[in-house]
Structure 1
């Protein structure tokens, strides 16, 4: 986990001085991260202020550095990029995430977008495409690699309320899990469903057991991967 402090301003159109776009890179391969940093810093409007090699370090650096964009790999050790994206978007919702990965399969795209990523780009993208994608995400736009099928993006945006699959959640467990995915606290869920906090926790414990997980973050990620979302 490394924090860097470099340029603070860049010259915009008409000679106006504007703040540089602060970036946090998350990749467990140091050489890849350093290469990406060099590519991004070739644009005077971009500044890499930190590099993390895993999810927990990424969350800690994001809280401390408050970057404008997080560029996130998926294949991280331990907490993968999808879970890290979900956690970051719940803890720091103002910071967008651009996923940059070698995985072009539809399930990865769906998981990342449902976790809250603003963009999904493949590492085969050119330096110019990467810079353009980062700038677009920083400006509040959604960016999807042109090789990704439009149908996959549409499926990611569609509400999925099914609890079918290898874990047959009850209706009430599904309602609780959907709200966990949406970032609700136990107290908020209890209020919405007119249940006691104790009952909500019991439903969560049952969902944990069926999903084979041990925390709200893990249950949310597993639910996202199986298509359970709160409409």
Structure 2
């Protein structure tokens, strides 16, 4: 697997240093400067420009760079703002090392990830701003099951365990969902599911 090139941004140097040491346990992760970065792991509460504003700037100037928010803020409003700004993931600092590794790999693979307790409200609010016209009846039963789990905040591994499918099969179903709904990723697919009432909120 190609190296995952990551920039860490936090207003507490000790946190950034600790994260760098922690991430060294994953052999495919490299901590680099922003010029060669594929992923930015960033806090929201930063001095000067906050993390949401920084995300807007990064995504506007470097659209190929993904942003994963790693923060102490559980409030839904922060997750909503981060998603609107273009963040691909939102995770709390209470996450375990394994959850952090999974979040990084998920985001680097082009999938969205939101801390589950923030997911429903974030998707509901985002759904009020955007939507799709496609008929959910075009989805197969399995695609609809996968979409419902995505909207509930499940990642690919979790979906596979719940539906007794391999990660490869889950990804194929997701590709079918994206194509049929005209969406670009998990976050947009989840917004669609909430807007159409395909999941309970």
Shorter-chain TM band: 0.5 to 0.7
List aligned pairs for 1:1-231, cutoff 5 A.
18-50=1-33, 62=34, 64=35, 66-159=36-129
C-alpha distance in structure 2 between counterparts of 1:71 and 1:47, whole Å:
12
Change (3 A) 1:157 1:114: farther
C-alpha distance in structure 2 between counterparts of 1:157 and 1:45, whole Å:
35
- Displacement after TM superposition at 1:156 (Å): 2.5
C-alpha distance in structure 2 between counterparts of 1:30 and 1:136, whole Å:
26
Structure (1 or 2) with the greater helix fraction:
2
> Any idea what the Cα deviations from partners look like across 1:60-108, whole Å, max 9, x if unmatched?
xx2x2x2111001100001000000000000000111000000010111
C-alpha distance in structure 1 between counterparts of 2:42 and 2:126, whole Å:
18
So what's the TM-score if we normalise by structure 1? 0.54
C-alpha distance in structure 2 between counterparts of 1:120 and 1:68, whole Å:
16
Structure 1 range deviating more: 78-87 or 35-44: 35-44
- 2:176 corresponding residue in structure 1: none
The answer to whether the Cα contact below 8 Å between 1:114 and 1:157 also exists between their aligned partners in 2 is no
Q: Which has the larger radius of gyration?
A: 1
**Secondary structure in 1 aligned to 2:104?**
helix
- Displacement after TM superposition at 1:152 (Å): 2.2
RMSD: 1.4
- Displacement after TM superposition at 1:155 (Å): 1.5
> Any idea what the Cα deviations from partners look like across 1:145-167, whole Å, max 9, x if unmatched?
1232413223234317xxxxxxx
C-alpha distance in structure 1 between counterparts of 2:128 and 2:110, whole Å:
20
C-alpha distance in structure 2 between counterparts of 1:142 and 1:135, whole Å:
11
- 1:56 corresponding residue in structure 2: none
So what's the TM-score if we normalise by structure 2? 0.62
Number of aligned residue pairs: give it: 130
Q: Which runs of 5+ in 1 are unaligned?
A: 1-17, 51-61, 161-231
- 1:210 corresponding residue in structure 2: none
Q: Which runs of 5+ in 2 are unaligned?
A: 131-201
> Any idea what the Cα deviations from partners look like across 1:142-193, whole Å, max 9, x if unmatched?
0111232413223234317xxxxxxxxxxxxxxxxxxxxxxxxxxxxxxxxx
**Secondary structure in 2 aligned to 1:25?**
strand
C-alpha distance in structure 1 between counterparts of 2:3 and 2:9, whole Å:
19
